[in-house]
Structure 1
Amino acid sequence: MKATVYQGNKTFSVVENPIEEPKEGEVRIKVAYVGICGTDVHVYHGNMDKRVQIPQTIGHEMSGVIDAVGPGVTDIVVGDKVVVRPLDDRAQQASDKGISHICEKLKFIGVDSPGAMQQYWNVPAFTIHQLQPETDLKLAALTEPLAVACHDVRLSELIAGETAVVLGGGPIGLLIAKVAARKGAQVIISEVNEARVQIAQDLGFTVVNPMNQDIQAYVQEVTDGRKADVVFEVAGVQPSVDIMTKLAGIRGRVVMVAIHAQPKSVNLFDFFWKELRLIGARVYEKEDYEEAIQLITENELAFEKLITEVLPLDSIQEAFESIDRNPAGIKTLLKCQ
């Protein structure tokens, strides 16, 4: 079988590996599609070389079909369409309080262990979520990032009729906007990249480019002074951190979606003055995956418009170089078969 291997120094190779039999409690997946996400790009740039065991196959946004099951696996059968929730929580401790998706020694499959950018992939059976037979496997490859969005919106406690501002119109920002709009919220996206502004507008969203328009004044006007009930900080840059507390209204909620590797300055006075809440949101839980699968199955939210390009697995180097050249793209998929 073909497998891709990250070699370090912005380099991937394509190799031939034997197809391995699944071990006790494992399944083997014939991988259909794998999405390239921001974490994968961080790996490509060398930012995670201390964590990734080079050379290594990476990738975790995927869809596929069960090809074989190992001993002890009874509730999954060959031919099932599936996705993987790539969290290995087997090292939980009492101090983790039973919250498996953020336990201290959580392993992220596809980063901390071999991932999905190969034709066949063996994973623990407990990571599997089964799909309906009619599910489009190309769209199903969006399940993992969509589950992130479902988790973020769920933790925000957003309800119909509220106003949500999404700071950042990339893949996760657009998925959050879709989930929030489906909840019945008024959604406003803030994005500075004009290509992504156009994509968001084509999807039917109200978009403000803060380089050209005062977003604080706009939100104030369209909410009759109430401002946003929820602000999702997805961009991960200081200007977004600066504006997030200004956009939130009284007792508003700010959801921290972006990963800030370095400390940022935050206006704590706004939290005092307006009784704001800051909510951390990390990956997802089982119920978020199930919600994402349901949304993919229903396919009422035009997820196909988020797929920028589909390339063969052999073109993995080209795919990552293309993403570097075109950061305005939304989602690139690798076709593995």
Structure 2
Amino acid sequence: MNNKATQYTGNKQFAVIDTQREEPGAGEVRIKVAYCGVCGTDVHIYHGMMDKRVDIPVTIGHEMSGVIDAIGPDVSGYAVGDRVVVRPLDNRAEKPSDKGFSHIAAGLKFIGIDSPGAMQQYWNVPAFTLHKLPADIDMKLAALTEPLAVACHDVRLSGLTAGETAVVLGGGPIGMLVALVAREAGGKVIISEMNPTRIALAEEMGFNVVNPAKTDLVEYVSEKTDGGLADVVFEVAGVQPTVDVMTEVAGIRGRIVMVAIHGQPRPVNLFKFFWKELKLIGARVYEPEDYDKAIALVSAGDLQLGRLVTSVAPLSGVQSVFEQIDANPDGMKVLLDCQA
């Protein structure tokens, strides 16, 4: 039985190949992948920024939804036909020194980067990575579970409570998901974003949006909060200007959540941490409860998630998908239809 799979082959090139569908091994299931989203990390791989980490040629992808197609030995609790998503963390190298936090264990492997991913028709994964989906869930939107779980983790670690003001620095895909989850938690959300298309989308979805190139963000937030400023700040953009403003826009005892990945050290105004008793919270990927929350939010259908799907393309169009993402910085989330 054939399996059509994409492969990153280096130098900004993808191939689509026919391989043999593999039987799942012990503790594994085979998933018929429905949809796979393209993540910012996937784009970094396309740009060659992770060539030293990935095993070229490699099938990537980790934002997905699918249906169990076959079950290997020693798997219980799942049946062929179950709708599932994968929490793509292989924590089998966890040690006592990781203190039980397997999602950030020193030996953690990320499935879809360090091992084959979901941009293919059929995908074998360890059963311990699975989360069941409701039978009536929209499988396109279910493919947003993984990035939505990132946002759930970020908001949960922030300690945001109803009525607090949250400022989201960056209105890209993750920033919008953080804003949606923060609003669902009862937060008063303000988004800082400079891209006109993303500003328009956020405003259409009911958010207060500030373009910091045109409006002083700190003054705006101060006016909205009677001088109290933000209770929580989510730094999602990952650039120096947002690092500079995060300590300015946070109010007394504000919590700053570092969502973005900064590949190098950055200057930070540490005086503000002393002066306002601020907290800086690191947040990386997700834990099982964040996946459960994300699935519940997708299933409830209240977050307007469909508006974040920019386009859907077949596996055969993978090369043009990545080229178009480069050419269209306005886009939000592109999905690959893995069975088209």
- 1:186 CA drift (Å): 0.5
**RMSD value over aligned CA atoms?**
0.4
Q: Alignment partner of 1:104: what SS?
A: coil
Q: Distance in 1 between matches of 2:186 and 2:130?
A: 30
What TM-score do the two structures reach when normalised by structure 2? 0.99
| Corresponding residue number in structure 2 for 1:227 | 229
Q: Distance in 2 between matches of 1:309 and 1:163?
A: 32
Q: Distance in 2 between matches of 1:69 and 1:116?
A: 17
User: Could you report, residue by residue, the CA deviation over 1:192-232 in whole angstroms, capped at 9, with x for unpaired residues?
Assistant: 11111111111111100001111110001000000000000
| Corresponding residue number in structure 1 for 2:94 | 92
Q: Do structure 1's residue 217 and structure 2's residue 219 form an aligned pair?
A: yes
Q: Distance in 2 between matches of 1:184 and 1:300?
A: 14
- 1:94 CA drift (Å): 1.7
Q: Distance in 1 between matches of 2:284 and 2:76?
A: 31
Q: Distance in 1 between matches of 2:218 and 2:327?
A: 31
| Corresponding residue number in structure 2 for 1:196 | 198
Which consecutive residues of structure 2, in runs of 5 or more, have no partner in the other structure?
A: none
Q: Alignment partner of 2:45: what SS?
A: helix
Letter in 2 for 1:96: D
Q: Distance in 2 between matches of 1:32 and 1:189?
A: 32
Residues 1-337 of structure 1 mapped to structure 2, 5 A cutoff: 1-337=3-339
Q: Distance in 2 between matches of 1:83 and 1:142?
A: 10
Task: Tell me the matched-pair count.
Answer: 337
Q: Distance in 1 between matches of 2:195 and 2:10?
A: 29
Q: Distance in 2 between matches of 1:256 and 1:233?
A: 5
**Identity over aligned residues, as a percent?**
68
Q: Distance in 1 between matches of 2:74 and 2:91?
A: 19
Q: Alignment partner of 2:43: what SS?
A: helix
Letter in 2 for 1:308: T
Moved over 3 A (4+): none
Q: Distance in 2 between matches of 1:312 and 1:241?
A: 38
User: Could you report, residue by residue, the CA deviation over 1:24-69 in whole angstroms, capped at 9, with x for unpaired residues?
Assistant: 0000000000000100000000000011000000000000000000
Q: Distance in 2 between matches of 1:199 and 1:44?
A: 27
Q: Alignment partner of 1:199: what SS?
A: helix
User: Could you report, residue by residue, the CA deviation over 1:108-162 in whole angstroms, capped at 9, with x for unpaired residues?
Assistant: 0000000000000000000000001001100000000000000000000000000
Q: Alignment partner of 2:52: what SS?
A: coil
- 1:7 CA drift (Å): 0.1
Q: Distance in 1 between matches of 2:67 and 2:186?
A: 34
